[in-house]
Amino acid sequence: MKISRPFIRLGELLLVHAEIRGPRATMTARLVFDTGAAATTLVPEFIEALGYSARDGGQPKRMHSALSEEEGYTLEVAELSVLGVMTPNFEIHVFDLDRQGFDGLLGMNFLRHFNFEVRPAEQRICVELISGDWKPVTDGG
């Protein structure tokens, strides 16, 4: 089954609509469709508003890059709906992206479960499920 969803552009970035459920709230998010990101990532303020805290995640972990070392952590959100599919208990990374305009990155730990096609002229992304415990959604994501 193929699903098609609209995106908007923020500069050269593609933003898609997502809905994320936590213990306190369900929040809509703007996520960057990011095939260059290994992990789906949300900023700490977004996670806090959902009702999570760093104590809900694993031990704080140091993330190394060539230039720096910063702390982040991982946790499972109760439900993630994006690009027309919903998955429960999805692991995301929590990291301060230090940028306005979006709430996080939709990375390859999500996208690898789909064939996908970006259609810039139509401003739509088409996805086709190839693996995983995913359900199509009719509302939200």
Partner 1 sequence: MNTAEQITPTVEPSEPLPWAEICARYPDQYVCLLDVVPVERWSPAIATGRVAGHGPTRLDASALVREDVRITRWSVVYTGEPTKPLRRPPVFFE
Minimum Å gap between C-beta 35 and partner 1 is 11
> How many contiguous H segments (helices) and E segments (strands) does the chain have?
2, 12
118 closest CA partner among 33, 49, 22: 33
Residue 121 interacting with partner 1 (CB under 8 A): no
37 closest CA partner among 135, 112, 98: 112
* Integer Cα distance of 84 and 98 in angstroms: 28
Minimum Å gap between C-beta 29 and partner 1 is 8
Choose, by CB under 8 A, the member of 1, 55, 62, 121 that binds partner 1: 62
Interface with partner 1 by CB under 8 A: which residues? Answer: 5-8, 10-11, 13, 15-17, 24-30, 32, 34, 36-39, 41, 43, 45-46, 48-49, 61-65, 68, 70, 72, 74, 84, 93, 95, 97-101, 103, 105, 141
